[in-house]
Amino acid sequence: MSFPLLTATAVVPAVGAIATAALPAAKRTAAKWLALLFSLITFALALVVAFRFDPGAGAPFQLTESHAWIRDFGVRYELGVDGIAVALIALTTLLIPFIILAGWHDADPLEEATPNRRWRPTQGFFALILAVEAMVVLSFEATDVFLFYIFFEAMLIPMYFLIGGFGDRAGRDGEEEAAGRRSYAAVKFLLYNLAGGLIMLAAVIGLYAVTADQLGTGTFSLQQIVEARTAGTLNIGTGTERLLFLGFFFAFAVKAPLWPLHTWLPGAMGESTSPVAVLITAVVDKVGTFAMLRFCLQLFPEASSWATPVILVLALISIVYGALLAVAQRDIKRLIAYASISHFGFIILGIFAMTSQGQGGATLYMVNHGISTAALMLVAGFLISRRGSRLIADYGGVQKVAPVLAGTFLIGGLATLSLPGLAPFVSEFLVLVGTFTRYPVIGIIATLGIVLAALYVLVLYQRTMTGPVKAEVTNMPDLRVRELVVVAPLIALLLFLGVYPKPLTDLVNPAVQHTLSVVDKKDPKPTVQVNAVPGEGRHGHAANDQDVEAAK
């Protein structure tokens, strides 16, 4: 029996969460180092997964594990990864150590503890982060629909406590008002995602009933269902398939988040600490877009094609709406949150463009957005912790007193607006090209998101970093060593993947091709103009049958 590598990659952070939470209250520093150690071990295992994975192997899933779990209901403990899952597991396990380092003091005891300013359980903060990591990794690995659903929903609980229990300390209101806002944001996050999960549960049960009726034995296995559909032994009625698709897609659209199901995100990110905000948008939300590729498209190919026009319009609205609201924001963290809504619109646009460039670009966008948003949000968090305010108007001239902080903030912002030479540019370009080849009008309108991104990022930088130095930032310290350790690797990755994205494209492209084959979609053939000059063919002579045939 081979070593269960995928299970180990998820179990290690889960064990780390338990071990960190079990430490005595006085061992706060030890809890931080223990959590960091377990996160680094998890990242090392993820690297082993990446090196063991062979993109050219041809099998849809590798490093598979399959064990009977609940036999009577056809539930199995089935794990497997394709190139898309490998890339997202690597992203998740890479970001968690940086999230822990960035939040090193976010759960320290509050000064002058009173009934309204209680001591914050440091061990619980870092244990919850590791618990989220374990559940996200298992969500990327699960190839059993029911197993995926369990962890898709279970991650909401630790996230709820991270949002509601460890909020941002920067604000003008008192502790009671801040606690009320955190509680509201956490409850809204939970209710939105639970509502999506309940609808998905009904669809999961419906899928089981359909397989039990037609295959004789109900199953939740993604591979078994796809193979049965390909062989013709499983035929889901058109109406049933569309209803099941909508049940799955609704849950994933809430998690993604897609307009108009996005309204929980700005509050959750705004009231969280900056590391938790990164955990939300760079890690947890990726499960939604990943699941669209793995489950919506592969389980329900006909319904996916049927729903594509509406989904593309919703994605387009997300792109423009999120960018416009980002332009109007006065709060730094809410600006980044609305920018993320716009970026998720690009990701979903690429997925449902149903082209290899679009889906490949969407997968790269998931990774690159995670890195760029983490860099920008974490530097913004360092800035906010120094000034004690999230309002853009409270800053000015920071680059003169903290040039390294301002420089890293600028690079993170330029990556967010997809500047050529930085990683997100490649993915955004592929999404737009892939969309334009099949839906040219939507592709053209989507480019408006690029223009608006340049506006909100550059205006944010101008108002916070340039101009006269405000009195409140005169003595602002520059980035410290721990903060540089957090930011420098992320910036290095943005530069490396911006210049040389081949390692990622080689990893994800076979999985994208497999998904397109399941949906039975091929890239549109380019239209070739036969006559460059009226009446002339390819070599300047009159067009003839050979020229016309070549154009076909």
The rounded distance, in Å, linking the Cα atoms of 44 and 243 is 41
* Residue % of the chain over a pLDDT of 90: 64
Domain definitions of the chain by residue range: 310-521
The structure tokens 């963290």 sit at 333
- The burial of 195, by beta-carbon neighbours within 10 Å (0-12 exposed, 13-18 middle, 19 or more buried), is given as middle
Quote the CA–CA distance of 417 and 456 in Å, as a whole number.
9
Residue whose C-alpha is closest to residue 355's, from 410, 304, 431:
431
Q: What is the pLDDT of residues 424-483, one digit of tens each?
A: 999 999 999 999 999 999 999 999 999 999 999 999 999 999 888 888 888 889 899 999
The CA distance from 379 to 274, in Å, is 9
Instruction: Please state, in angstroms and rounded to a whole number, the distance separating the CA atoms of residues 116 and 193.
Output: 29
- 481-531 pLDDT per residue, tens: 999 999 999 999 999 999 999 999 999 999 888 888 888 778 777 665 545
Q: What is the DSSP string of 398-422?
A: HHHH-HHHHHHHHHHHHHHTT-TTS
d(CA 381, CA 199): 35
Q: At what angle do helices 28-52 and 122-141 cross, to 10 degrees?
A: 10
pLDDT at 119: 52
Residue from 247, 254, 322, 320 nearest 287 by CA: 254
Angle in degrees, CA 36, 37, 39, rounded to 5 = 65
**pLDDT value of residue 303:** 93
pLDDT score of 1: 54
Task: Looking at 66-155, list the stretches that DSSP marks H as alpha helix, in order from N- to C-terminal side.
Answer: 83-102, 122-141, 145-154
SS (H, E, C) 330-357: CEHHHHHHHHHHHHHHHHHHHHHCCCHH
- Which residues does the chain have with pLDDT short of 70? 1, 110-120, 168-175, 526-552
Q: Tell the burial category of 551 from Cβ atoms under 10 Å away from its Cβ (0-12, 13-18, 19+).
A: middle
The runs of H, that is alpha helices, within 259-300 are: 264-271, 274-278, 286-291, 297-299
Query: Using CA atoms in the order 148, 150, 152, 157, what is the torsion angle rounded to 10 degrees?
Result: -160
Tell me how far apart the alpha carbons of residues 529 and 393 are, in angstroms, rounded to a whole number: 54
